Amino acid sequence: MDQRPRLDDVAARVGVSTASVSLVLRGAPGPSAETRRRVLEAAAELGYRADRTASMLARRRRHLLGVMLDIRNPFHAELVEEIQAEADLVGYEIVLSTLTRHRDEKRAVETLLDFRCEAVLLLGPDFADQRLGALAAQVPVVAIGRRVADAPVDVVRSADHLGVSAALTHLIGLGHRRIAFLDGGRGAVATARRRGYRDAMRRAGLRDEIRIIPGDHTEEGGVRAGRLLAADGDPPTAVVASNDRCAVGLMDALIRAGREVPREMSIVGYDDSSLARLAHIDLTTVNQDAPAQAKFAVSAAVQRLDEGRRERVEMVLHPQLVVRGSTAPPPP
């Protein structure tokens, strides 16, 4: 049974009408200063909180943006924090729906639709373009972090090929030639970064040095790759990882195996997440400008909802390499 205090409980405590209590809590004119003081005190004492869902239903417009994220991804957590800040500025609230080991994209999106979100922001979605197009026929969709070639959805992403190229340019400048790529799996984001690695190695004249190590976008995937490389009699001198999570797992496995990073092997991640900035990790990585991605994504959704924009827009940001302590010249 719901025992939460209600509006009429506050009204009974103060001895005024529920209409007066509503005016006070909404900051609307009418009640006297003394009434306002007593209502606010009573609401605090009772622990009353307004039912925002009922309030939004009464206004017809819900002003809810749904956000799908991978709860295990620290970069997604940072993006959500920035999205919330941007939504606050324009008078919207966000509803989060998470991906986990047991909860896929289909279920996560269905939850957002069940909450009647007016638009959905998808962080790194792996849905096929056709599936994204079908979703866009129901609500405005913003895909964050990946290219979408053939669907009427708005897109904000970093230029992954430039980010991977910057990582390789840095390593080549340090003297590395045997540079491997720790793969991120079958998803759209991982595919773009893998393609960027191959293209950049070819442009650098290192076609024969191309080596892709199987992995995924998890710490566990990085650990498996690290164990493989630790047992390799002729390992690469540097590895570019598809994201920070697998880079950190790779680093952990190498260190546990007695390999020194970066003296024996340099490692570069991708995302510049909170993990990368920890002093004992100090990961060289690619920054995707989370604040700018969030600002554009929220703006794109609000333009469709409030201004009626119909044409598709895409924002491609230039990522920046952040050099830290996980890279150094190759061993002799």
For residue range 160-209, list pLDDT tens digits in order.
Answer: 999 999 999 999 999 999 999 999 998 889 999 999 999 999 999 999 99
* Amino acid symbol at 86: E
Look at residue 58 in the predicted model and tell me its pLDDT: 47
What's the chain's Rg over C-alpha atoms?
25
Look at residue 5 in the predicted model and tell me its pLDDT: 82
Q: Where do the domains of the chain lie?
A: 7-50, 59-157+289-316, 160-288
Report the C-alpha gap between 242 and 260 in whole angstroms.
21
* Amino acid symbol at 296: F
Report the C-alpha gap between 201 and 172 in whole angstroms.
10
**CATH superfamily label, 7-50:** lambda repressor-like DNA-binding domains (1.10.260.40)
Report the C-alpha gap between 102 and 86 in whole angstroms.
30
7-50 with 160-288: one CATH topology? no
Q: What is the DSSP letter of 131?
A: H
- Contact 105/99 with Cβ under 8 angstroms? yes
The H-assigned helical ranges of the chain are 7-14, 18-26, 33-46, 52-58, 74-89, 105-114, 129-136, 160-174, 188-203, 219-230, 244-256, 274-277, 290-306
Low-confidence ranges of the chain (pLDDT < 50): 1, 56-59
- CATH C-level class of 59-157+289-316: alpha beta
The dotted CATH code for 160-288 is: 3.40.50.2300
Look at residue 325 in the predicted model and tell me its pLDDT: 98
Q: What is the phi/psi pair of residue 80, to 5°? A: -65, -40
Tokens of 58: 């009464």
Report the C-alpha gap between 115 and 136 in whole angstroms.
16
